[in-house]
Structure 1
Amino acid sequence: MRTTVLSDWLAQRLVRAGDAQPVYRQLHRLLQQAILSRELPPGTRMPSSRLLAAELGIARNTVTQVYEQLALEGYVTSATGRGTFVTDSAPDEIVGAHDEPPGAHGTRPAPQAATRRLSARGTRLVEEAGVSKRQGGAFMPGVPDVSRFPTRVWTRLHNQYWRRPRPDLLTYAPGGGLPSLRVALADYLRTSRSVRCAPGQIIITTGIHQSVDLAVRLLTDPGDVIWTEDPCYWGVRSVLQISGLTTRPIPVDAEGMSPTADDLAAPPRLMLVTPSHQYPLGMVMSLARRRMLLEYARQHGAWIIEDDYDSEFRYGSRPLASLQGLDTAGQVIYVGSFGKTLFPGLRVGYLVVPEPLAESFATASAELYREGQLLQQAVLAEFIADGHFVSHIRKMRTLYGQRRQALLDAMAHRYGDDLPAIGGDAGLHLVMPLPEGTDDRAVTQAAIERDIVVRPLSGYYADPERARQGLLLGYACVPEEDIGPAFETLAGAIDDVAFARPALGAGPRPKRPGHIAA
């Protein structure tokens, strides 16, 4: 590329107004791209810094700095009295990269090429991901009202640590987490959840996902069988699948996980259950079913992971005791988090492991994850010990109960008794059934187009043959006065999908609930 051609090419691409990047960065990027795309092939002599600066109308020092940076990165080489030349091998070629970066031709690796670079399980994880781009508003399930968090109390506690230097809180966390948090948490779990534990049995993590991941890594080998509830939380199911386990979905009934005789004939290595509030359907595991699973696990040497999801938020009854509290054989791994009770961005969860496993879990956690956030853990420990945590839960339980009732009232006003809520006695969401034959994924998409976020119940099932059609409606992060209007908007989406005129040759239209005028 001749000097004048290169100058014209660069001049057309340099942006010098508004919020553009500094000219130095733009010029460096453009020359780097031209070399990688071979617009400037190996051996090309670069124009002198004086000449290029004059033709581009920029400071010579800017060009000189760019050339020096390109030389450091191996794109060009300079020799006194000879000039600056493009090197024979660009850095990306040295390490074996052959994709042409975006340059004069504007080319990028094709999306399908990027997909091919993923492993089989990586591809499956991405394709089946359930994570949402939106994390609030009507009716996003599983999201608390963070606007009601006592930020003044938290800030005061936080500032106390910054005012008195504590270098020990600015380093990596010890295995298991900060001792003061483990003590405070053990006291809380013993009194509120009937969990039998000492502080040393608690392992602090970043949340449910990491807790399950750590337990799976230490207690199973790839290929081992794990029972999961069907339906179950998609996030935990993804963790299990990416770990190389063989998941066996076990259907749930009114009493919780309900294995058949065939299931019981092939014992798993591990079971994952949500006994206090099944997610997403909301039933409570009966005492008889709890005792059956504990005895079965004891007989066959299986482990049970108890996900105590949303256990603090029950409406009209006291929170239920944990499954771990009934365990006498040391086979239950209890997991919980502060994401729903405080705020999701805190990213603090925990495991309670049987005493013989405590040291191994603490060592493995430090080895795999190199945890930190000790300052946050110290603040949280005081927040719990001073009673702020229990007080906040009580206030939020009342608030969420009011919002839950407002949603139930809105459903009844629109649909009467035709579409009764499922599992609305606890947690931060309820499940709304749909008229027979209605596609819940189509309703979900229609709702999104109206700026309403819901989740399709069918997406939580591993077995499509068992999947029920319905919607998960979260009410915790929706102001009470907005629930009625938002539900009316959602109802419009439901009715448009459920009672639209079927295409020629399609099946019968869903029956319109009797409460709704035809």
Structure 2
Amino acid sequence: MDTIILADWLSARLDRTAAEPTYRQMLELMQQAILTGQLAPGTKLPSSRTLAIDLGIARNTVLHVYDQLTAEGYVNSTTGSGTYVADTAPRDGVAKKAKTEESKAPCTISRRGERLIAQAGVSPKQWGAFMPGVPDVAEFPARTWSRLQARLWKRASPDLLTYAPGGGYRPLRRALSDYLRVARSVKCQPDQIIITTGIHQSIDLAVRLLTDFGDRAWVEEPCYWGVRSVLQSSGLTLVPIPVDEEGLNPTPRDMVEAPRIALVTPSHQYPLGMVMSLARRRALLEFARQHKVWIIEDDYDSEFRYGSRPLSSLQGLDDAGQVIYVGSLGKMLYPGLRMGYMVVPEALVETFRLGVAELYREGQLMQQAVLTEFILDGHLTSHVRRMRGLYGERRELLINAIRARFGDTLAVRGDEAGLHFVLELPHFADDRAVTADALAAGVVTRPLIHYFMNHDKALRGLMLGYACVPNADIAPNFDKLADVIERALTPMHTPMPTPLAQA
């Protein structure tokens, strides 16, 4: 482009009525012209006075554009000589090498990233019937929370607006330690509690600090897909350990080579719902003590137990300091809070406090302070008690809807606690197809097969969450799901004889 016609070219493209300043429009147009070669390297630009007159704009506007172009390396300015377009093209050697390498290997993510994405279990829908693991956020006492938050913001301390100290807000750690000792029989002091953004981050931190690439990790078979993704992405070798009605059940062969960590859900196995027996708990703790195995106890929803008191934690039986206890406040309150905690052995306290600060630069102190007030004023305990009653009602309604359509032909597993249970399907049923067809009908569920590493030995079933479904919506939504299930089971039924009148 000849600079004689630069003013005409710019004038045709500047929008004098736009909200964007003329300076910004002109700068972007000239940058693009230089990058595309319309203004070739070495081209002398008109003086700022001449260009301003030709465009009918203030000279300062042109001066600002030229200064910015110079600062970003698009042009070179020499006093007394003028302003020239710089040569911004990559050097030939660099360009040729880049082009050659590009032709050899297409742009792609890592193998670890490919595996993570290929096995991702996250759902595009996070709410509604029958999304498992989600509390009823509509029942959260938002006014109470808002009042506490407003009070704290009114007298906001600078200490609450900066990064979190190692481990999190101390008054919250003290309140949680008191709560966990009473509610979950966890043995801990406030300093042993590390505040995180949830169970995923808690496990990620433990894995980063306690394992090396290639270390073995025991996981329950089946287990929560999210935890499996965290462990696999860290380069660990996952060893699936089967579960039975007493929980984790390692064979003698499994125990020949001890893992570095073992991740378990002893109080409410995820996803099948059984409770690890006391004998199995003691055996696992002794094995961990002898072989220096770190046990991560994922206690994700044990506050919601129906018909009996919540069970004591595995950590409460640990005398060797081998158990790291992790939990989440999202299922008790609302998932978007993104707040969890871990209780670490005393020997690891300083390591984990430094680790969480170094890796994640924790914050959310204001939210932690609000939560502290929420707990100390008794709102957490009363909210959990009320939700336990409400979720218990919804659990019964869903079980009744299942019995009304299928009688006792489809078993329900793991309904004694939590926010979901499993509806078993026959071994020939394709639970993934049922899930897809149900979603098309407006109902969310998860196929049980996705929770198994070994699909050949996987049970078939559906994860049904009931906590976030209003009572009146349970039966009609299950009717939609039941229609899908019946279609999936029909091919295995004996065909009805064709009436003679229709033959």
TM-score range, shorter chain: 0.7 to 0.9
CA contact (8 A) 1:436 1:511 kept: no
SS of 1:71's equivalent? helix
- Tell me how far apart the structure 1 counterparts of residues 424 and 58 of structure 2 sit (CA, whole Å): 68
CA contact (8 A) 1:274 1:306 kept: yes
Give deviations 1:23-70, integer Å, cap 9, x for gaps. Answer: 766665565455445455534556788998999999987776555444
- Tell me how far apart the structure 2 counterparts of residues 93 and 498 of structure 1 sit (CA, whole Å): 65
Q: Assess, with a 3 A threshold, how the Cα gap between structure 1 residues 93 and 496 changes in structure 2: closer, same or farther.
A: farther
- The answer for the alignment partner of 2:452 in structure 1 is 461
Q: Assess, with a 3 A threshold, how the Cα gap between structure 1 residues 5 and 349 changes in structure 2: closer, same or farther.
A: same
Q: Assess, with a 3 A threshold, how the Cα gap between structure 1 residues 23 and 419 changes in structure 2: closer, same or farther.
A: farther
SS of 1:263's equivalent? coil
- Tell me how far apart the structure 2 counterparts of residues 13 and 448 of structure 1 sit (CA, whole Å): 49
CA contact (8 A) 2:45 2:82 kept: yes
Alignment pair present for 1:281 and 2:272: yes
Alignment pair present for 1:161 and 2:152: yes
Give deviations 1:198-225, integer Å, cap 9, x for gaps. Answer: 1111111111111111111222222111
Give deviations 1:289-326, integer Å, cap 9, x for gaps. Answer: 11111111112111111000110011122111101111
CA contact (8 A) 2:35 2:88 kept: no
CA contact (8 A) 1:10 1:27 kept: no
SS of 2:238's equivalent? strand
Alignment pair present for 1:510 and 2:501: no
- The answer for the alignment partner of 1:331 in structure 2 is 322
Alignment pair present for 1:441 and 2:423: no
Specify every segment of 5 or more residues in structure 2 that has no aligned partner in the other structure, as ranges. Answer: 497-503
- The answer for the alignment partner of 2:499 in structure 1 is none
- Tell me how far apart the structure 2 counterparts of residues 291 and 415 of structure 1 sit (CA, whole Å): 40
SS of 1:351's equivalent? strand
Listed as ranges, the matches of 1:468-479 within 5 Å are: 468-479=459-470
Amino acid in the other structure paired with 1:195: V
CA contact (8 A) 2:14 2:22 kept: no
- The answer for the alignment partner of 1:145 in structure 2 is 136
SS of 2:401's equivalent? helix
Out of 316, 330, 333, the residue aligned to residue 342 of structure 1 is: 333
Out of 367, 390, 395, the residue aligned to residue 386 of structure 2 is: 395
- Tell me how far apart the structure 2 counterparts of residues 24 and 98 of structure 1 sit (CA, whole Å): 37
- The answer for the alignment partner of 2:164 in structure 1 is 173
Give deviations 1:466-491, integer Å, cap 9, x for gaps. Answer: 22222212222221212222222223
Greater shift, 82-91 or 135-144, is seen at: 82-91
CA contact (8 A) 2:130 2:444 kept: yes
Greater shift, 135-144 or 186-195, is seen at: 135-144
Identical aligned residues as a percent: 62
Give deviations 1:177-217, integer Å, cap 9, x for gaps. Answer: 11111110010000000111111111111111111111112
- Tell me how far apart the structure 1 counterparts of residues 454 and 404 of structure 2 sit (CA, whole Å): 34
Listed as ranges, the matches of 1:213-292 within 5 Å are: 213-292=204-283
Q: CA deviation at 1:350?
A: 0.9
Amino acid in the other structure paired with 2:87: D
- The answer for the alignment partner of 1:106 in structure 2 is none
Give deviations 1:255-314, integer Å, cap 9, x for gaps. Answer: 111111110111111110000111111111111111111111112111111000110011
- The answer for the alignment partner of 1:491 in structure 2 is 482
Greater shift, 4-13 or 305-314, is seen at: 4-13
SS of 2:144's equivalent? helix
Q: CA deviation at 1:92?
A: 12
Greater shift, 477-486 or 310-319, is seen at: 477-486
- Tell me how far apart the structure 2 counterparts of residues 25 and 60 of structure 1 sit (CA, whole Å): 15
SS of 1:481's equivalent? helix
**TM-score normalised to structure 2 length:** 0.87
Greater shift, 344-353 or 388-397, is seen at: 344-353
SS of 2:134's equivalent? coil
Q: Assess, with a 3 A threshold, how the Cα gap between structure 1 residues 67 and 198 changes in structure 2: closer, same or farther.
A: same
- Tell me how far apart the structure 2 counterparts of residues 148 and 489 of structure 1 sit (CA, whole Å): 25
CA contact (8 A) 2:427 2:459 kept: no
- Tell me how far apart the structure 1 counterparts of residues 287 and 451 of structure 2 sit (CA, whole Å): 26
Q: CA deviation at 1:152?
A: 1.6
- Tell me how far apart the structure 1 counterparts of residues 322 and 305 of structure 2 sit (CA, whole Å): 27
Greater shift, 290-299 or 127-136, is seen at: 127-136
Q: Assess, with a 3 A threshold, how the Cα gap between structure 1 residues 255 and 61 changes in structure 2: closer, same or farther.
A: farther
SS of 2:342's equivalent? strand
CA RMSD of aligned residues (A): 3.5
CA contact (8 A) 1:73 1:91 kept: no
- The answer for the alignment partner of 1:71 in structure 2 is 70
Give deviations 1:212-263, integer Å, cap 9, x for gaps. Answer: 1111122222211110011111111111111121111111111111111110
- Tell me how far apart the structure 1 counterparts of residues 57 and 123 of structure 2 sit (CA, whole Å): 46
- Tell me how far apart the structure 2 counterparts of residues 261 and 306 of structure 1 sit (CA, whole Å): 22
Listed as ranges, the matches of 1:362-441 within 5 Å are: 362-441=353-432
Whose Rg is larger? 2
